[in-house]
Structure 1
Amino acid sequence: MDVTELLAEKRNIEGLNLSGMALTDVLAAEPYRFTNCDLTRADLSEADLAGHVFEKCVLDETDFRGSDLEGARFEGGGGAKTRFGRAELTDATFVNADLSGAEFGNALLTDVNFTGCRMIGARLTGARGTSFFLSRSNLTLADLSGCSFRKHELEGIRFDEANLASCDFTGAVFTDCRLIRARVVDTRFTKADLRGADLGEVDDGQLRALTGAIISSSQAAAILAVRGLTVL
């Protein structure tokens, strides 16, 4: 049975090598569950993938651009430079997925949850929608410029060296987070609770961006110490 026949007959696909294949016009209308499949550089652009499940799949350079991924679930697996540009991702879930270098430009990220994900160097700038949620994820070197985290509860997030320019963290609460050397030009932290964040060494530009934020006495002492002041 060839791949096309298999995909026409079954909806639970396990251990299949689909790397480099054009799949948009091959899949049936009903949701599939892909488990341990290799989708490296597979073309799923402009596909109807609402409700599909991708579990422990290899997604290196997989093309989901312009696809309908509403309610889709990605659990484990993943890969480098997966492309989600222009995709519809409302209510999608990413759990313990590797999204390093993933591209989400102009994707609709409404009520999307990223939990336990490796998102080093991911690009979410330009994404549409204002309600994607992050938990226990590594966004080191990620580009999140212009994204809104207004009143979000951010737990276990690494924003080290991330581009947070023009982000809105108004009223956000940071718990067990890191913001070391993050770019915070025109970033809003009004009433943001940063007491649970490792700020690293705060330079003058970062300090200006923190205007209106809530910090601890130990954080304030560390900021003043590098400027030659001692808090008693």
Structure 2
Amino acid sequence: MEFDGDDLSHAALTDRLSPEETHVFRGCDLTEADLWGAPLAGARFESCVLDQTDFRKADLDGAAFVGGGGMRVRFNDADLIDATFTDVDLSSAQFGGALLTDTVFTGCRMIGAALTASRGTGFKVARSNLTLANLGGCSLRGEHIEGVRFDDADLSGCDFTEATLEDCRLIGTRLLNTTFAKADLRGADLGQPDDAKLRALAGAVINQFQANAILAARGITVL
């Protein structure tokens, strides 16, 4: 079933969607639409307005979101295995309990998004803004993470073991019980190297410039 430019705001859509079809939404207004538990495996959303859209418990396995987006989209407990989000505004989106195995976020605005308590073996993120996001307990183990802003984000309990952070920012980031064992942080802006951050970065690989900045902050000059 295809929806093209339809105003579906506030609509209850789940019962209108057949699990036997692949659904496409182009340029639709889905503001506060009810898609709770909807059969949306392989669905495609292009440039849709998603303000407070309810995707809780929806089957979005392999779904693709391209452009568009909105505030406070709810993906709680949804199946997002192999789903892709490209250039989507996901500010303050809720992903608690969502299954994010091999989910890919590219070029997304995820300011204040909540991914804590999400499930799965790990997701991918690149060229995205996760300022003030909460990723508590998420696994990004072994991932190559490029161009991501984690400024003032909560990464408590996250696993970055053997991950590579390239052109990323960790300014003001909360790193309580975060693991960076064997992570390559040479391409990351580590921000203010305080004692709490240094404890979290134990086992990580950094470059000479970063090491000098850490020592300089403690009054030590390297010649």
Structure exhibiting the larger radius of gyration computed from Cα positions = 1
Q: CA deviation at 1:131?
A: 2.2
1:187-206 correspondence runs (5 A)? 187-206=178-197
Count of residues paired in the alignment = 222
Residues of 2 paired with 1:166 and 1:131: CA distance?
14
Q: Partner letter of residue 26 of structure 1?
A: R
SS at match of 1:194: strand
Match of 1:156 among 144, 147, 150: 147
Q: CA deviation at 1:68?
A: 0.4
Equivalent residue number for residue 118 of structure 2: 127
Residues of 2 paired with 1:110 and 1:184: CA distance?
23
Q: CA deviation at 1:181?
A: 0.8
Deviations 1:4-40 (A, max 9, x none): xxxxxxx222111110111111223311111110000
Q: Which runs of 5 or more structure 2 residues have no equivalent in the other structure?
A: none
Deviations 1:191-226 (A, max 9, x none): 111000001111111111111110011001111111
Q: Is the 8 A contact 2:179 2:201 kept in 1?
A: yes
Match of 1:183 among 164, 167, 174: 174
Match of 1:40 among 31, 43, 48: 31
Residues of 2 paired with 1:15 and 1:106: CA distance?
31
Equivalent residue number for residue 78 of structure 1: 69
Residues of 2 paired with 1:129 and 1:119: CA distance?
19
Q: Partner letter of residue 16 of structure 1?
A: D
Match of 2:207 among 212, 216, 220: 216
Q: Which runs of 4+ in 1 moved over 2 A?
A: none
Alignment of 1:100 onto 2:100: no
Q: In percent, how many aligned pairs have the same letter?
A: 61
Alignment of 1:25 onto 2:18: no
Normalization by structure 2: what TM-score?
0.98
